[in-house]
Structure 1
């Protein structure tokens, strides 16, 4: 049945509905609720967009501006020339050779979708596989603006040839820098040290460094790193989308590092090195050290440690093969024996024991001991080095002939006569700067070692015996000293009682201590040292017109190996101007060291006379 004026589409959910006007029919299905929901959605979208824009602008606006600016403007470092190191006469001992470092900015490579493999492959074709390239390829995996080192130590010619090649590579550029060269190589390697590439921990500790930098790793180069390295400059540049410079916006020049003047006498260093090497070859000795110092101020005039190494290995011509040869060498060429080697001082230590005994009243210049070949304590026998002994011996003769019996007596004591004992021996040894670093301005210095009763019990679970004190009294047992420490206490007796801090850079002298041994007692020891050369164990050193003084030493350290040989002394006896200390490892004794000192004194004072005539 059809109903008039019925419109079935007007309403849903009702069976019948009266017909509506056309306007109502169009309007009603979209009214109110749907319109409100639509409006609310639009407003929410607008508010969300506004909030996002506000967040980006207010909260992260600065960050995104910096990123955008970084994409367009870069600040590059300008490397300062490193300070020059000079010998005492002004001879330059290092060279700053201009070079290039090849770097790449990872962001520019990725932004231009350029294959890293292409860059590395082309560089390997030109330079071969190197550690720089291998490490650089790994670091390029980061999406970073920080430049990565691809190749260091590029010569000027190599850098120029690379310019047209890298022009096609986004983000790859050359940085001007300087490479350290060492023309004197092995002669000064243990003094000057070397520079090499910084490590990650260097950059963590000091914000001065970046991956392309080198820093002093040993010797003077390391000790005076902050003075030598200078101040970096900067160049602010605008780059294009390829990461290449368009223009310079601003620039500050780098400041060259400070120059340093050493106390090292180059000709003296050359002479003493050559003479030690000659004696080593003659006697089949593999390791040795020598030091020459000015007793008037503590300046180190020569410092030798053999074998040595070519310090250029770590800068211009690094070879993994050569490096492996050096570190696997059983004679340890990298080890600076002169300041870090710790050895039994042998009879050179007797001058400390003698001065301590004089100062403590344990002995005096008139007290004598009958040396018959040694001292027996129960089942143990402590010998003199000369079978049958040296007869009646006072302190001067005991020093001159290095008579063990005398020092057993004043050091450890005998029945009815008290000795110093280990506590006082150690106390005086500390006054002479043993058991601690001297403070020399070189890296890697050793402390030596002074044994005590407490140490022996803790380390060996043994009590201290009289025999231990006897051994210590003649510089044996567990006492250890560096060649520099022995040279230092020789200086004390040479100059009459002042202990200067040893130094290798020209500077004001520094007194560690002085006058802790009376002038009279110092003079007694000095006279014993002069007698050593006049008629004692080093009489081969007697040179007319020079009057050297000194002490020989033979230091046993192993039943299966030869003892070390020592000589330490000064000249002239009155108004000394030079001290020399020589160590010949496993040489058999002092007879290997004393001839070197004799020839050194002869050469030194012959040269001095020539200079006086010339002036």
Structure 2
């Protein structure tokens, strides 16, 4: 107490300044400057005693309570605190769905306790186009160490960023027995974007079914087909055969089915529409004709006598000749008939020259092939597109270390030798013929602004090519496409492949309607029995007939948009 109380002399009755109390209210209006109204009374020792006793009792009570918590209940409270835990759990965001042009769902999600499972409607020959996904992965304790659902192929991979949502987070407090004491979402999951395709599911299914049907019946190893809008580049159907079930691939099984995919000689994981490289054969002739007309090598009235063979004297061995045969002797042909009847002799001559007839030469052949988009990717929005190959002297020197010969030019002019193209390249090229020179970038997304470059060929020249292709349908090699319900222009092609040319690639390309082109098509059947070069035309005929039977607008019908049930028939999601 000595700390707080100043020692005083008991006999001294004077009041110290700190012992003077003033009336703060000053209700009596004392003159405080003269110290009126002051109360003067010394603070007694008793007051200090009570203050210290009270303070001491409070301290004792606090110490007692602290001791009780620590010594008596401390272990229990510590155990309870340790038993309670906070755990953050990922809330998986739903992946965006994929629909066709009319809203029919092609890929969707089935919810489960800890996320969702991807499901696909299994249209034949479309597995490589849609693709499949990988799911988040757990460790041995059942905890997720990978919380991302990724697209691994096809559109699922190409548009993975758009389809992927943003995961959320759930915070959970549990006790020692695992009972949830509190729970709350601290980050809401955000669903991925819906992907609306330019594909029409009914058109897609018709193409896929026709492709698979003809390929199976005629023992072709595989095939592909594409239908594209000639004004926008929008792909209405794209199919690759054989294909796989994306439900199986996303699920990772059954293992025996996946093993079958891996050992199938048809290579179902290969997207033949954009990755399959095929010798095009005669379907390149419309582009060579357009180039030769534009360069002035020929006119629409130029006639070349197709005798069935071209004999070129061997300059190093007098009396000997190199013989380049055609598929048959056609007699005198102009450019329209040469396209319609696929005259090899005409295009040998136009490509490399013969006698008094000047040819384009390999450099201009290479130029025109590039103008029509060959030997480079189209830019279609699918992963892994192949560039193809147009052989040239530089390529031959680098690849084979041998010089370029005139015969190489002849064969390149008819789409043989080392020429390789993809179906997506060919549908793009023939669409440019149909629309008078716009080389469009193909797209699988709906409602995109068209992107294109312009080919330096006049509309009048393209009209000549159109006429030759139409004649090919009305009276020549593509006559099976001469249907009464829509006018078609087409060019067929057959390319011999294999070590001994024992297999055929069968091609057809074209557009419809002839008078006002709207859609281009390209179909290939690969590595089939020799002599079946017309079977690609059969695919297109089955395709057109199916859509005609459905009264589909794409072939001039008046049917309204089909529902999902009608599009997919009995096909159900796996």
**What TM-score comes out, normalization by structure 1 length?**
0.71
Q: Deviations over 1:441-488 (max 9, x none)?
A: 112211111112111111111000000000000000011000111111
Counterpart pick for 2:552 among 565, 589, 607: 607
539-548 or 341-350, which moves further after superposition? 539-548
In the other structure, the counterpart of 2:348 is: 408
261-270 or 481-490, which moves further after superposition? 261-270
Q: Deviations over 1:159-211 (max 9, x none)?
A: xxxxxxxxxxxxxxxxx2111011326453122101014699xxxxxxxx951
- For structure 1, list consecutive stretches of 5 or more residues without a partner in the other structure: 1-67, 101-175, 201-208
Counterpart pick for 1:494 among 434, 451, 463: 434
Counterpart pick for 2:106 among 93, 104, 109: 93
The 3-state SS of whatever aligns with 1:291 is strand
In the other structure, the counterpart of 1:276 is: 211
In the other structure, the counterpart of 2:327 is: 385
Higher helix share: 1
Whether contact under 8 Å (2:125, 2:212) holds in the other structure is: no
Residues 1:471 and 2:411 aligned together: yes
- Distance in 2 (alpha carbons) for counterparts of 1:516 and 1:610: 32
The 3-state SS of whatever aligns with 1:556 is strand
Counterpart pick for 2:249 among 314, 320, 337: 314
- Distance in 2 (alpha carbons) for counterparts of 1:449 and 1:604: 34
Q: Offset of 1:93 from its aligned partner?
A: 1.1
- Distance in 2 (alpha carbons) for counterparts of 1:428 and 1:199: 51
- Distance in 2 (alpha carbons) for counterparts of 1:236 and 1:313: 34
Change (3 A) 1:545 1:211: closer
- Distance in 2 (alpha carbons) for counterparts of 1:380 and 1:566: 28
Whether contact under 8 Å (1:263, 1:299) holds in the other structure is: yes
Whether contact under 8 Å (2:137, 2:145) holds in the other structure is: no
Change (3 A) 1:240 1:364: farther
In the other structure, the counterpart of 1:30 is: none
Change (3 A) 1:95 1:409: same
- Distance in 1 (alpha carbons) for counterparts of 2:279 and 2:131: 27
Q: Offset of 1:549 from its aligned partner?
A: 0.4
In the other structure, the counterpart of 1:116 is: none
Listed as ranges, the matches of 1:11-410 within 5 Å are 73-100=86-113, 176-184=114-122, 186-197=124-135, 211-238=146-173, 246-248=181-183, 251-316=186-251, 318-377=253-312, 378=314, 379-386=321-328, 389-410=329-350
In the other structure, the counterpart of 1:572 is: 513
Residues 1:596 and 2:539 aligned together: yes
In the other structure, the counterpart of 1:203 is: none
The 3-state SS of whatever aligns with 1:586 is strand
Q: Offset of 1:508 from its aligned partner?
A: 1.6
Change (3 A) 1:517 1:239: farther
Whether contact under 8 Å (1:495, 1:575) holds in the other structure is: no
Q: Deviations over 1:23-59 (max 9, x none)?
A: xxxxxxxxxxxxxxxxxxxxxxxxxxxxxxxxxxxxx
- Distance in 2 (alpha carbons) for counterparts of 1:601 and 1:99: 42
In the other structure, the counterpart of 2:446 is: 506
- Distance in 1 (alpha carbons) for counterparts of 2:167 and 2:533: 52
Change (3 A) 1:538 1:183: closer
- Distance in 2 (alpha carbons) for counterparts of 1:477 and 1:469: 9
Whether contact under 8 Å (1:195, 1:215) holds in the other structure is: yes
Counterpart pick for 1:551 among 464, 483, 491: 491
Whether contact under 8 Å (2:303, 2:333) holds in the other structure is: yes
Higher RCO, 1 vs 2 (CA within 8 Å, ≥6 residues apart): 2
- Distance in 2 (alpha carbons) for counterparts of 1:463 and 1:198: 55
The 3-state SS of whatever aligns with 1:93 is strand
In the other structure, the counterpart of 1:483 is: 423
- Distance in 2 (alpha carbons) for counterparts of 1:611 and 1:531: 24
Whether contact under 8 Å (2:125, 2:242) holds in the other structure is: no
Q: Deviations over 1:371-426 (max 9, x none)?
A: 1112112332111101xx11111111110100011111111111333311111111
In the other structure, the counterpart of 2:402 is: 462
The 3-state SS of whatever aligns with 1:583 is strand
307-316 or 460-469, which moves further after superposition? 307-316
Whether contact under 8 Å (2:163, 2:192) holds in the other structure is: yes
Change (3 A) 1:482 1:75: same
RMSD: 2.4
Instruction: Select the structure of larger CA radius of gyration.
Output: 2
- Distance in 2 (alpha carbons) for counterparts of 1:210 and 1:491: 48
Q: Offset of 1:264 from its aligned partner?
A: 1.4
Change (3 A) 1:263 1:232: same
In the other structure, the counterpart of 1:538 is: 478
Matched pairs, number: 462
Q: Deviations over 1:261-297 (max 9, x none)?
A: 1111111122222222222233222312111122121
Whether contact under 8 Å (2:228, 2:235) holds in the other structure is: yes
Whether contact under 8 Å (2:123, 2:205) holds in the other structure is: no
- Distance in 2 (alpha carbons) for counterparts of 1:401 and 1:304: 28
The 3-state SS of whatever aligns with 1:507 is coil
Change (3 A) 1:183 1:599: closer
Whether contact under 8 Å (1:401, 1:532) holds in the other structure is: yes
- Distance in 2 (alpha carbons) for counterparts of 1:225 and 1:547: 40
Whether contact under 8 Å (2:436, 2:458) holds in the other structure is: no
Change (3 A) 1:610 1:315: same
Whether contact under 8 Å (1:191, 1:219) holds in the other structure is: yes
Q: Offset of 1:213 from its aligned partner?
A: 2.8
